[in-house]
Structure 1
Amino acid sequence: MNKKTFFTMMLVLVTMTGLAQTKTATVTGYSPALKDGTLVLAGTGTIGNVVDTVQAGRFDFTLPVEELTEGFFSLMGEGCPNFNLTLFLRPGVTVKLTGNDCFYPLWNVESPLPEQQTQSRITEHCRDVVTELMQMDLAQKPWAEREVVEMKWMKQQMDILPSLPVDAATIYALWLTSMTAKNTKDFPHMEQLKKLEKTIATRAPKGFEEQLAEIHNNVYPPRLLQVGDEAVDAELLDMQGQKHHLFEAFADGKYVLLDFWGIGCGPCMMSEPEMKEFYEKMKDKIEIIGINQNKLTEWQKHEFSKRIIWKNWNNASKDISSRYCDIGAIPYYVMISPDKRILWKSMGYGPGWFMGMADAFNGLKQDNSANLSLVIQKVNANTSGTTVSFRCYSHKDYWFRIAKDSYLEANGKKYKLTAADGIKLDEDNFTKVKASEATDEFLGNICYTDFTLTFEPFDTTPATFDFIEGDVQGAFVIRNVSVK
């Protein structure tokens, strides 16, 4: 939850007495331990950027703010951990950060805002465990070790929250804990979190209804929809603030792809050129609904949001993502059939995914959702063996492998791989043929490679089979491949 993401800064313009003016807050900082050239990253909400570089241990920057706003600050350089320091800002306020080391999340924060003072009390209460987490981050300890300390941190934050004022800092800390609980199997402090959520919701002043509703959904998530379930409707907003319903997209009898994304999510934005080409090719069969997870105003004003050509809606309340997404990570894709059944769900993005998806829809019937960039194009089954023709899409600099112990499964049996043509088994292979005429720096580098694998002959030719890439637990599968 502490990984940095870098965002494009959005300046909010306000018209006053006929002139365009920008309200800002100022942040200054100093530590003699910082190396010259260390990058300073900061932003408000989920939008930020590199705002300064350290010189002689000092930095300063301004951020656009219209009202009390939760922001973040971090450093990238020698000795700096991968962490965020939470800041609360108002127009005209100056916040001063000072320390003697590179552990900036624990620095002294001078601010006139009571919310920042609440945040400082939380930080001080958790000082030892946050120090341990930062040391583990710098030592690149595996997540299995860090997770134990992360859970301890969540517990310490919950321990102090009941004694603090219920303000933006308290509610933000509770939200962070609730997100961790949502994304952690068997969260060890769930009973304490449930009691705390109820207590803070009772004490909270007006104005936090949306945040509290999201926290409640994290603590008491609605039943998560699974593959095979019928889709549920949801209310969403477009760029003009007009209401829409998810089920509008099914009016033309198309498949519907839900794309959960956010501003500042690198893979979300990286996928856009390929998704656009996919949409132009497949819009007669598939409708895409981009479901943005940012605050409504952030999404409406951001330049990336304005160039989306498919249905472009917002779900700032997160109620739909809590029904469809197994984890609070983006991009997250959900494919729904014309009869409103969930066909598959997938998290993340890899170059060539949408090209492989298009081939699977337009070609031989199959479910390649476990690895969308790999698609089966042809099957030839006879008494001497079963030859399967594949196409793999990827960035030209990314390798792929096919295990020599791959097999087909049908008729309750396994049929071993006997030969490969066009690739080397258990070795790095690179895609070679350009997949698009686009000159875009990223899309233009997506390539494909065709190859064939031959397997033992079927005893009886089945209607469908599964391809399993490697005889190991967790190997990806192309399911229900039609022989015809």
Structure 2
Amino acid sequence: MRKLLFSSLLLFASLVAQAQEEYTIEGKVEGVKEGTLVSLFLLDGNVGSTVAMDSIHNGTFYFKRKAGESGLDILSLMCTRQEGFPPMSLKIYATPNAKIKVTGTNTLIYTWEVNSPVKEQQEYNNFTMDSRDLWDEYQRLVIKEKSCTSETECKILEAKQDSISAIISNRELKLMQKLPISSVWMEKLNKLSMSVKYNPKFSYKEETLALYNRLNEEQKATTIGQAITVNLFPPTVVKEGDDMADADLFDLNGKIYHLEDFKGKYMLLDFWSSGCGPCIMALPEMKEIQEQYKNRLTVISISSDTKSRWKEASTQHEMTWPNLSDLKQTAGLYAKYGVRGIPNYVLISPNGQIMQMWTGYGKGSLKFKMRRYLDTPKHEMSIMQRGNTRIVNYPSITSTNTDILEIKQVELTDTATIVHFNAYYTPKYWIQVSPNAKLVDEKGVSYTLKGAIGITPGEHFFLPESGQAEVSLIFEALPLETKVVNFTEGTAKKDWQINGIKVSK
């Protein structure tokens, strides 16, 4: 009997302890459609994961959760893809035992009121309420933009949003000047520093720097402090042709590595995050190329997640190659390699020189890149004369913005200039050559496209199963004294450019 009583007391104590670690979020909103789905996301660094969902009935919703080990959960409340809502969220800070009440009178979720005992929430509310009128108008514009029917209308709405954002930034700056430094204050400074880095029209760089100068060394050394620093004072970004940037990199057991350790083979750096869908989609293909090229290539994944999130995500995926982190999220190697979007890949030569850098993943794209750079034979330029025809085999070039086209041969005759290309791309994917393509000589004279062999300009050309094809473009005749020529489709960002094609000794 005593043993049973003792066990019951232990169970009761455990339940009480667990209840003391829980927090609740109770919502009471008006003007929202019955049955609207509400999602609760837990934020960890740059990643958010869904932890609970509820539907609004009679204007109410309710969540109960056990607090995380840190004692402070940062959450995001969203009504994703719900009619009448902006694609924005309500930020909520929660601690054990907190009873949080959310109220609203419309679908403008970003400015729903959060009544909470959590001090971080109260600090955050100060910023939101200080600009609530502007945030409400901003949300209305965002909702309206979702249904705009013309490019002109969309641009007008975006311009209005930008104008409101600038006024909000000014208000937040003035409020920050009066407030002591806190974690919420640091989050706001980080947002401002990102505007300094990425928005050329941002008008408050000096004011942001003045706020940054209030930080002490300990605050600057935090993860968010380092992120703010690299936003305001960007490091030198390496580019193709440079020696690779390196750093202390840790594996899941805390062992330190450096990229230098992997020299002697090609390296494929994979900058990823567990919250990035294409990053996860690429993992099976990365495993295949790691196995296929294991004697010549080392795949190295570098996570931007927090340490806890990185470890948790790594247990879910079988990564048979080095899986590392500098534990600086986006403030370390990510900044040095200029990573803005992920997945981001960097191919490095065995001697540590950057060969190629690209962003994004599509099925088969990594295999294409490896085949293009690890399996394609290297050729030396040669020139020969056949009667009145000069033939230039694999001419040297100064620069190119594409790895899809390689110039195999240039024929210069009295009547035409024929450029023979090797085309490389993902099997069964299409490429397209513009009918406006031309050659431009060193004097700036243009030579128009007159015809093509193996491809029709302006139409989709699908690569065969091999991912390689030969195509030729026929241009007006270049003068035989021409030494260097450029191939160009135009001046748009995606137009192919191959510059400094040497066609003479």
Q: TM-score category by the smaller chain? A: 0.7 to 0.9
SS at match of 1:49: strand
1:99 corresponds to which of 99, 104, 107: 104
Are 2:102 and 1:71 aligned? Answer: no
The reply to whether residue 285 of structure 1 matches residue 305 of structure 2 is no
> Is 1:27–1:61's contact at 8 Å kept on the other side of the alignment?
yes
Name the residue aligned to 1:393. 426
Deviations 1:114-136 (A, max 9, x none): 00000000111122332233223
Q: Is the aligned partner of 1:403 residue 2:406? A: no
Tell me by how many angstroms 1:293 deviates. Answer: 0.7
Given the alignment of the two structures, is residue 166 of structure 1 paired with residue 181 of structure 2, yes or no? yes
Higher mean displacement: 172-181 or 347-356: 347-356
Secondary structure in structure 1 of the residue aligned to 2:425: strand
Supply the distance in 1 between the matched residues of 2:352 and 2:218 (Cα, whole angstroms).
Answer: 40
Unmatched tracts of structure 2, length 5 or more = 1-12, 146-153, 379-396
Determine the C-alpha separation between the residues in 1 that align with 2:337 and 2:107: 40
Q: Is 2:495 aligned against 1:454? A: no
Once the two structures are TM-superposed, the CA of residue 465 in structure 1 deviates from its matched residue by 7.6
Q: Secondary structure at the match of 1:393?
A: coil
- Does the C-alpha gap of structure 1 residues 180 and 240 become closer, same or farther in structure 2, counting only changes over 3 Å? farther
Q: Is the 8 A contact 1:431 1:449 kept in 2?
A: no
CA displacement 1:392-411 (0-9 Å, x = unmatched)? 32786xx6543112245677
Amino acid of the structure 2 residue aligned with 1:34: V
Could you tell me which runs of 5 or more consecutive residues in structure 1 were left unpaired when the two chains were aligned: 1-15, 436-447
Q: 1:323-368: CA deviations, max 9, x gaps? A: 221x533222333333333334333334443233123212255999
Q: Deviations over 1:246-283 (max 9, x none)?
A: 22221x2x232322221212232233333333333334
The TM-score with structure 1 as length reference comes to 0.78
Tell me which moved more, 45-54 or 454-463. 454-463
Q: SS at 2:79's partner residue? A: strand
For 1:349, the equivalent position in structure 2 comes to 361
Q: Is the 1:38–1:78 Cα contact (8 Å) retained in structure 2?
A: no
Q: Deviations along 1:12-33, whole A, 9 cap, x unmatched?
A: xxxx99xxx8965433323233
Which residue number in structure 2 is paired with residue 309 of structure 1? 320
| Compared CA separation, residues 476 and 380, structure 1 to 2 (3 A) | closer
State the distance in 2 between where 1:61 and 1:394 align: 49
| Counterpart in the other structure of 2:120 | 115
How big is each residue's C-alpha offset from its partner over 1:95-130, in whole Å with a ceiling of 9 and x where there is no partner?
222101111110110211000000000111122332
Alpha-carbon displacement from aligned partner over 1:293-350 (angstroms, at most 9, x marks no partner)? 111111011157642232211133122222221x533222333333333334333334
Whole-angstrom distance in 1 between the partners of 2:326 and 2:400: 25
Q: Secondary structure at the match of 1:139?
A: helix
Q: Would the alpha carbon gap of residues 229 and 392 (structure 1) be closer, same or farther in structure 2, given more than 3 Å must change?
A: closer
Change (3 A) 1:394 1:433: closer
Structure 1 residue aligned with 2:276: 265
Quote the offset at 1:65 in angstroms. 1.7
| Equivalent of 2:449 in 413, 417, 422 | 417
Q: What secondary structure sits across from 1:284 in the alignment?
A: coil
- Shift in CA distance, 460/320, structure 1 to aligned 2, threshold 3 Å: farther
**Residue aligned with 1:298, SS:** helix
- Preserved CA contact (<8 Å) 2:40 2:75: no
Residue aligned with 1:302, SS: helix
Contact 1:118-1:164 at 8 Å conserved across structures: no
Confirm whether residue 61 of structure 1 aligns to residue 92 of structure 2. Answer: no
CA-to-partner distance for each residue in 1:62-84, whole Å, 9 max, x for gaps?
55522223332222110111123
- Whether the 8 Å CA contact 1:42–1:73 is kept in 2: the answer is yes
Q: Distance in 1 between matches of 2:84 and 2:42?
A: 22
Partner of residue 376 from structure 2, selected from 354, 363, 384: 363
Match of 2:497 among 474, 477, 480: 477
CA distance in 2, matches of 1:464, 1:93: 72
Give the distance between the partners of 1:344 and 1:458, measured in 2 at CA.
32
- Please tell me whether Structure 1 or Structure 2 has the larger radius of gyration of its CA atoms: 2
Take 1:368 and 1:261, find their aligned partners in 2: how far apart are those partners? 29
- Name the residue aligned to 2:231: 218
Q: Is residue 29 of structure 1 aligned with residue 2 of structure 2?
A: no
The 1:478–1:289 alpha-carbon spacing in structure 2 relative to 1, beyond 3 Å, is: farther
Aligned partners of 1:417 and 1:453 also within 8 Å? no
Count of residues paired in the alignment: 444
Task: Using the TM superposition, give the Cα deviation of residue 195 of structure 1 relative to its aligned residue in structure 2, in angstroms.
Answer: 0.8
Deviation at 1:370, TM superposition (A): 4.3
CA RMSD of aligned residues (A): 3.8
SS of the aligned residue for 2:85 comes to: coil
Q: Percent identity?
A: 24
Q: 1:90 to 1:243 in 2, by over 3 A?
A: farther
For residues 24 and 348 of structure 1, do their structure 2 counterparts lie closer, same or farther at Cα, with a shift above 3 Å needed? farther
The 1-side partners of 2:485 and 2:49 are apart by: 48
Aligned partner letter, 2:250: L
Give the alignment's TM-score, normalised by structure 2: 0.75
For 1:8, the equivalent position in structure 2 comes to none
